[in-house]
Amino acid sequence: MSTVARDAEEMRALGARIAGLLQPGDLVVLTGPLGAGKTTLTQGIGEGLKVRGPITSPTFVISRVHPSLSGGPALVHADAYRLGGALEVDDLDLDASIADSVTVVEWGEGLVEGLSDERLEILIEADSEGDRRIVHLRGVGSRWSDIPI
């Protein structure tokens, strides 16, 4: 499935809608160029999950945990941009919390797929005409086979 977000507000709203599909144990892998809106989308996911914020880019801290304010799953927000490979991903111990949390990894393509056979992959592309973003969602595994994405 693909959709268009015309601005940051629409990107956050899309994230909130995606949050309505998520449950503990879900892995979301975000891919897109710098400035595409990966963190903005994650902010919307965090709002939808009702977790403690603020949600900011974890590029320099690599990973943040945002506990739920409503009894739902925590949001683990990681950024694999500066990681050199799968061994450094292992050092983050994302697998220790994946069953109880929703885990969102920016720049995770090719690095975090081993965390779960079932995941939501989201590719964000900048539209050549300006601020619009084309967002492609792809579910991998049986968890996502019956979910309209």
Domain ranges of the chain: 2-142
> What superfamily in CATH does domain 2-142 come from?
P-loop containing nucleotide triphosphate hydrolases (3.40.50.300)
Radius of gyration (C-alpha) of the chain in whole angstroms: 14
Return the pLDDT at 108.
83
The pTM score is 0.89
Q: Tell me, what amino acid is at 32?
A: G
Calculate helix-pair angle for 8-19, 38-49, nearest 10 degrees.
50
Place of tokens 């539209």: 127
Residue-level pLDDT, tens digit, the chain, 149 residues: 899 999 999 999 999 999 999 999 999 999 999 889 999 999 999 999 999 988 987 665 567 889 999 999 999 998 877 666 555 555 565 666 678 999 999 988 887 888 889 999 999 998 877 789 999 999 999 999 877 76
Structure tokens at 13: 């709203």
Cis peptide before 148, with omega less than 30 degrees from 0?
no
81-88 contact pairs (CB < 8 A, 24+)? 81/106, 81/107, 83/107, 83/111, 85/111, 86/111, 86/114
Closest residue by Cα to residue 43 from 58, 31, 26: 58
